Structure 1
């Protein structure tokens, strides 16, 4: 379903710099100063309306969370939720994942989350998939040497493609689940899409892919 345009979103971002830092590239290499602590940084690429990143931040107060979302009209919903919850260890960025290396220095991020990314099913759109090798290059640059990508989707085709992409890149696959909600995994934080799809009986796929140090 097409997201309704919210032209006031950018004004709202500017009104809440404590949650949406302006001029993200100027923060490169200095995100610890933004959070005013030395806690590890976890990055979610494509936050949607923010349910996952805010839920994770509440459960993990000793981790700093940065959420990237390309659509301002979507991200403003996450900001509204963040303001309401009053969570202090989250920052939101209205940025493109292709610009990660302009926003973060090498080794600045500890973990990346990819949740229910657009599957881009047509072959000609392969390079747009967030688990394509060029995106893995970006994640590897900004992450610690043994950093992990945690990936969830309801799309079997994208999951199979991503497992192959991770493996071809030389990553170590851990915690591969073909039916997350029937697995033994505890403390799973669901996204909005995950709640919707699982309620309909859709299978949720998940894996953790670790870069080799």
Structure 2
């Protein structure tokens, strides 16, 4: 679905550079300096309108969060939330999530969140899925040793594909939920999509996958 452009979005993104790094490549290896602390860094690739990452930052002030979103008309909505909340432990990046190694040094990130990523259901689009092997390689590069991916989706096909992709890459499936909202999982923060799909009675799938220890 083609997204409508939001008038004034580029200007707002430029104006609030304290929340969105306009030249993020300059902060590679120095994100602790930007946050002015040495807390763990968790990133969300495909942060959308920012509900999840904003709520996580509010609940966990002892963790630094970075929301990554390519769509300008969407990230500006997340920016509005951040401007209102003024959270010192949250930053946004208006960049392509497939280029993480351009913005983060090796081992600079402690955790990756993938929430309701585009399923790209056609076989010819497999390489665009955020759990394809080339993306996993990028995540592994920027994550700490034995770093984790926390993955949620409503799409059963994408979930099954992702479990297989994680396994083929040699990752350890630490936990798997086939119906998250009917489980005993606590403190779940819903995204906008998650709330919509859940209200329709759709299952929500979740897994935590850990990279193997580097040799």
Distance 1:26 1:11 in 2: 21
Cα distance in 1, alignment partners of residues 152 and 7 from structure 2: 30
Aligned to 1:187: 187
Corresponding residue number in structure 2 for 1:210? 210
Question: Any idea what SS the aligned residue of 1:43 has?
Answer: strand
Q: Distance in 2 between matches of 1:156 and 1:67?
A: 25
Using the alignment, how far apart are the partners of 1:161 and 1:201 within structure 2? Answer: 22
Whole-Å Cα distance in 1 between the matches of residues 48 and 95 of structure 2?
Answer: 13
Residue correspondence of structure 1 range 1-80 to structure 2 within 5 A: 2-80=2-80
Secondary structure at the counterpart of residue 43 of structure 2: strand
SS in 1 for 2:175: strand
Partner Cα separation in structure 2 for residue 98 and residue 81 of structure 1: 25
Return the alpha-carbon distance in structure 1 between the equivalents of residues 149 and 125 of structure 2. 21
- DSSP 3-state at the match of 1:208: strand
Question: How many corresponding residue pairs?
Answer: 213
CA deviations over 1:54-100 (Å, ceiling 9, x no partner): 01111110100011101011000000011112222110010001211
Match of residue 130 from structure 1? 130
What does the per-residue CA deviation read over 1:82-124, in whole Å, with 9 as the maximum and x for residues that have no partner? 1112222110010001211010000000000000000000000
Residues 148-187 of structure 1: per-residue CA shift (max 9 Å, x gap):
0000000000000000000111111022000000011000
Superposition pairs for residues 143-182 of structure 1, below 5 Å?
143-182=143-182
* Superposition map of 1:62-101 within 5 A: 62-101=62-101
TM-fit CA distance, 1:127: 0.2
State the distance in 2 between where 1:102 and 1:152 align. Answer: 25
Q: Structure 2 unaligned runs (5+)?
A: none
Taking the aligned partners of 2:29 and 2:10, their CA distance within structure 1 comes to 25
- Which residue does 1:117 correspond to in 2? 117
TM-score by length of 1: 0.98
**Structure 1 gaps, min length 5:** none
CA distance in 2: counterparts of 1:3 and 1:132, whole angstroms: 24
More moved, 77-86 vs 104-113:
77-86
Q: How many angstroms does 1:7 deviate by?
A: 4.0
Structure 1 distance, partners of 2:16, 2:8, is: 13
